[in-house]
Amino acid sequence: MNKIRNNWTREEILKIYNEPLMDLLYKAAQIHRKNHDPNTVQVSTLLSIKTGGCPEDCSYCPQAARYHTDIEGNDLMSISQVAEQAQRAKSMGSSRVCMGAAWRNVKDGPEFEQVLEMVRTINKLDMEVCCTLGMITENQAKRLAEAGLYAYNHNLDSSEEYYKEVISTRAFQDRLDTIENVRKTNVTVCSGGIIGMGEDVEDRAGMLVALSTLNPQPESVPINALVAIEGTPLQEQKTISIWEMIRMIATTRIVLPLTQVRLSAGRTEMSHEGQALCFFAGANSIFSGDKLLTTPNPDIHQDLELFDLLGLKPQKPFVKKAQPKTIEKEESNLKSLDEKPRWTRPKHKIERNESMRK
Ligand code: SAM
Ligand code: DTB
Ligand code: SF4
């Protein structure tokens, strides 16, 4: 086992990121093999349970109501639809379902109760359940934990400095506060970010400082390549080179040795060879299924071919941590508090985002 360090500096991380590639790959692969089975990859399926119409201004996101994007918005999915999709994902070899909602934050009320029921339903199918619902309070985190939630995804997205260039409707500290609320429960933390938004390498290192100095470190870290969507302020961004993804994955593996590192959005642009190098560098998780939340992802047959080619096996559920118990609503001592929390509304403006407004 590698000793976990929670005091990485930006300079140290930058030095690792910029090492000659063969040295970087060799170091990352050694750490990977010490801490994980290198032939096992965790497979998660995304389910957009509430699509579009989000009040936030995240410059990368097609679901922000203010941008002119070509997505089909939907109200909250029914519990039976979710159960059917989860069952299908399970039969395709997925061990985790990650439910995403285009919300700024969770509001107590009937929709949250419905999400809690979705969590109970999927946990009873013996799959790991993850949610990404925006900001949550401590009481909401506890209620999700009681329903049987395994992981909560809440990305830091970039360095604290670059975050202000991407989002003006909330602050980096709000993200850290939600992660802290999740940490007050036994739900695991999934938090990562996006590369290719115009940030520099220092910002990538800054994001890894923020993630690696969390104590405990997140159990999973998704690394997304920006999917540049027409109608969003980042529509003109060029797809990042696979070499940048490989360096980012390897560096993440070195500073977060025990974490599941997820090769997330952007795989449709990556060759099998490129993805193989990402797995060698320490990636050990992917999203499967032909759709992420709103954008395409390689279809299951392409991924099966890739797994077959590389001799990879999908990870079974609950190998890293035991399955949480589901407590039914009637048995719970926790109640809806009908809270009206005041999350930050930072004052800065992002001109690029303003000019893309409807
Ligand atoms: N609304 C919730 C939130 O923001 O936390 C949950 C859903 S949000 C779509 C989840 C994550 O998807 C974002 O934090 C971002 O990292 C990622 N994401 C969104 N759009 C993306 C894009 N175009 N390319 C890559 N990643 C993207
Ligand atoms: C994460 O880090 N990436 C996923 C998941 N967590 C929620 C989302 C990727 C979204 C890509 C753009 C889309 O499909 O809308
Ligand atoms: Fe809303 Fe999440 Fe998209 Fe930001 S990333 S606009 S919060 S759905």
For residue range 299-338, what is the model confidence (pLDDT) as tens digits?
A: 999 999 999 999 999 999 999 999 999 999 999 999 999 8
Residue 341 confidence (pLDDT) = 84
One of 96, 120, 253, 262 is an active-site residue; which one?
A: 262
Say whether 225 sits in a helix, a strand or coil. Answer: strand
One of 130, 143, 247, 267 is an active-site residue; which one?
A: 130
Give per-residue pLDDT as tens, 92-138. Answer: 999 999 999 999 999 999 999 999 999 999 999 999 999 999 999 99
Domain assignment present for residue 297? The answer is: yes
Q: For residue 101, what is the enclosing H or E element?
A: strand 96-101
Domain assignment present for residue 349? The answer is: no
Low pLDDT (below 70) residues in the chain: 1-2, 358
Residue 340 confidence (pLDDT) = 84
CATH number for the domain including 168? 3.20.20.70
Q: For residue 255, what is the enclosing H or E element?
A: helix 242-255
User: Which residues are paired to 188 by β-bridges?
Assistant: 151
* Dihedral class, residue 266 (left if φ above 0, else alpha if ψ from -120 to 50, else beta): left
Ligand 2 centroid to Cα of residue 34, in Å, is 29
The two tokens of residue 85 are 């999709």
Domain assignment present for residue 212? The answer is: yes
The atom number, within ligand 2, closest to the CA of 132 reads: 7
Range of the domain at 262: 20-320
Domain assignment present for residue 82? The answer is: yes
- Euclidean distance between CA atoms 253 and 279, whole angstroms: 10
- Euclidean distance between CA atoms 132 and 43, whole angstroms: 17
Please check whether residue 108 is in contact with residue 339, taking contact to mean a CB–CB distance below 8 angstroms. Answer: yes
Ligand 3 centroid to Cα of residue 171, in Å, is 13
Domain assignment present for residue 24? The answer is: yes
Say whether 113 sits in a helix, a strand or coil. Answer: helix
Residue 345 confidence (pLDDT) = 87
Residue 214 confidence (pLDDT) = 98
**Residue 40: half-sphere exposure toward Cβ, Cα within 13 Å:** 12
Residue 58 in contact with ligand 3 by CB distance below 6 A: yes
Residue 169 in contact with ligand 1 by CB distance below 6 A: no
Please check whether residue 250 is in contact with residue 281, taking contact to mean a CB–CB distance below 8 angstroms. Answer: yes
Please check whether residue 136 is in contact with residue 105, taking contact to mean a CB–CB distance below 8 angstroms. Answer: yes
Domain assignment present for residue 9? The answer is: no
The reported pTM is: 0.97
131 part of the active site: no
Domain assignment present for residue 332? The answer is: no
The number of distinct structural domains making up the chain is 1
- Cα–Cα–Cα angle for 76, 77, 81, rounded to 5 degrees: 170
Domain assignment present for residue 153? The answer is: yes
Residue 77 confidence (pLDDT) = 97
Ligand 2 centroid to Cα of residue 305, in Å, is 23
